[in-house]
Amino acid sequence: MADTNFRGPVVSMGSLEVQSGTAATIEPFDGPNAAYQGYAFLDVRGVPYPSEGLQPGRVPAFLVGAHAFTVDNKPSAANATALGSSQTATSLLPLTLATVTVGIGGANAGNPVLATNIPIIPQGTTSVATAAIALDFGFTTGTTVANSSTVNVADNTQLQVGQWIIIGGAGNSTNTQPFFTQVQSITTTNFTGVTCLPVPPAAISNGPIGQANLYGATLLPPGTQFGPSTAAPNAHNPNAQAGLLRVHNPREMIARNVSIGLATGGVATAVTFLVTGWDVWRQPMSELITSPATTSATTTWGKKAFKYIAAITPQSASTAQNSYGAGFGDVFGMALRADAYEQTSIFWNGCNAGTSLGFTAAATTAPASNTTGDVRGTIQVSTNGGGSGYGVTNATVSNGTARLTIVQNSGVWNMITATPNNTVPMFGVANSTN
């Protein structure tokens, strides 16, 4: 059947359909509507309406763009050595990276933070890979007590009973491993009370909480006590359950550039570092960042937006007196392909700069190389990058409290030509992987 035509309107009332005096019944599939390639409103000049026939393109209409909130959270403060402290570069020997997930508190509680040893399932595979580091991990934070089901979270309104989560650093006493657990109850007397099972084995203060890759799970007795083993997640997946749908959670979609810092002075030879990892969609990616020969300390900024880091490997050796640190800056990635600044609405630290300064469109060279720009585009919000910061007077350096919100309005061409067989218009060309 080519299409279905009928005279509307169509109203989806979901759980609002209740009888007088009764409570609303919330069903598992209650949630937002969905439409392939968007939604269109009809051109009123298209009369008489051609309801009969199989001819494509016979109904004139205007396409309503995606207008999607793709990124919406407060990035952690830029840090020149957060990924790896200063160390001598040895050819083809990966740098020693951070291994501990450190929770955050104060005004930064509830915001994403670096997490270590996060399992993911890369695009196009079914096997779990472990990312040494996840940048700006999580949609909220929680404080755990070893062997206790109580987790005090920054905002329990972001959680649902039955939801599987992954808590960075709660998996062992040294806070190097994450832990999967399921939300059992959520208090309504405050915004912090949550109970979870299985119980986290370790304590962490305001550890980052992300979404695990199991949805629609019911609260079942432990399989070890009551028969066959119950389903359990095995990877991070930054989506939120919304009825039948799994919507991409903008609070978990921060990805940013990597920096290489020459930490000591002296005459240095140029050293190139190969950064490997994955983007926000768990697509493998790589970037070559060359720290130049210089007589003073300097920082070199990457152009691509990483979400997960696998390794940072020098391609040549440094001189004995020189050491390098690895960190991240303030160049943030788009979740959808952005071909022009006008297809975005970007807010940083409470303001919309009203200028394209700092915006870089998606790199469209196919296939992408490890020296080209990001395949979906980026925005640089401060001087922590290779270009100019967003805006003229509001180029605030990320500090854990400034919010970044990116709303993307995909072009007509991007929406109607994107198919399961051609994802390039929506998500960009394939990332470089070598």
pLDDT at 1: 45
Return the DSSP state at 19. -
pLDDT at 18: 80
Q: Domain boundaries in the chain?
A: 98-252
* Phi, psi torsion values for 79, nearest 5 degrees: -150, 125
Question: Regarding beta strands 204-211 and 239-242, do their DSSP bridges make them parallel or antiparallel, or are they unpaired?
Answer: unpaired
Does residue 135 register a pLDDT over 80? Answer: yes
List, for residues 67-113, the tens digit of each pLDDT value. 899 999 999 999 999 999 999 999 999 999 999 999 888 778 999 99
How far apart (Å, rounded) are the C-alpha atoms in residues 97 and 207? 19
* Phi, psi torsion values for 16, nearest 5 degrees: -75, -15
pLDDT at 179: 98
Closest to 374 (Cα-Cα) out of 301, 316, 310, 324: 301
pLDDT at 367: 87
Q: What percent of the chain has pLDDT over 90?
A: 71
List, for residues 290-322, the tens digit of each pLDDT value. 999 888 889 999 999 999 999 999 998 877 678
Return the DSSP state at 373. -
pLDDT at 332: 98
pLDDT at 317: 83
Half-sphere exposure of 81 (CA within 13 A, CB side): 9
Closest to 95 (Cα-Cα) out of 256, 257, 260, 279: 260
Q: What is the rounded average pLDDT for all residues in the chain?
A: 91
Sequence-ordered list of residues with C-beta below 8 angstroms from that of 255, at least 6 positions apart, any chain: 135, 136, 279, 280, 305, 306, 307, 332, 333
Q: Are 383 and 389 in contact (CB under 8 A)?
A: yes
Q: 216 or 194: which carries more pLDDT confidence?
A: 194
Which helix (H) or strand (E) segment is 346 a member of?
strand 344-348
pLDDT at 392: 52
List, for residues 331-358, the tens digit of each pLDDT value. 999 999 999 999 999 999 988 877 899 9
Sequence-ordered list of residues with C-beta below 8 angstroms from that of 17, at least 6 positions apart, any chain: none
Closest to 253 (Cα-Cα) out of 379, 105, 10, 71: 71
pLDDT at 26: 82
Q: What is the DSSP string of 120-157?
A: E--TT--S-EEEEEEEEE-SEEEEE-TT-SEEEES-GG
In this prediction, residues 138-159 reach a mean pLDDT of 96
Does residue 183 register a pLDDT over 70? Answer: yes
When pLDDT is cut at 50, 70 and 90, the band that residue 31 belongs to is confident
In this prediction, residues 269-284 reach a mean pLDDT of 96
Which range among 17-21, 122-126, 418-422 shows the weakest confidence by mean pLDDT?
A: 17-21
Q: Are 358 and 291 in contact (CB under 8 A)?
A: no
Q: What is the DSSP string of 290-338?
A: EEPP-SS-EEEE--S-BSEEEEEEESSPPPTT--EEEEEEEEEE-SS--
Does residue 227 register a pLDDT over 60? Answer: no
pLDDT at 15: 87
How far apart (Å, rounded) are the C-alpha atoms in residues 425 and 409? 13
Q: What percent of the chain has pLDDT over 70?
A: 94
How far apart (Å, rounded) are the C-alpha atoms in residues 250 and 254? 8
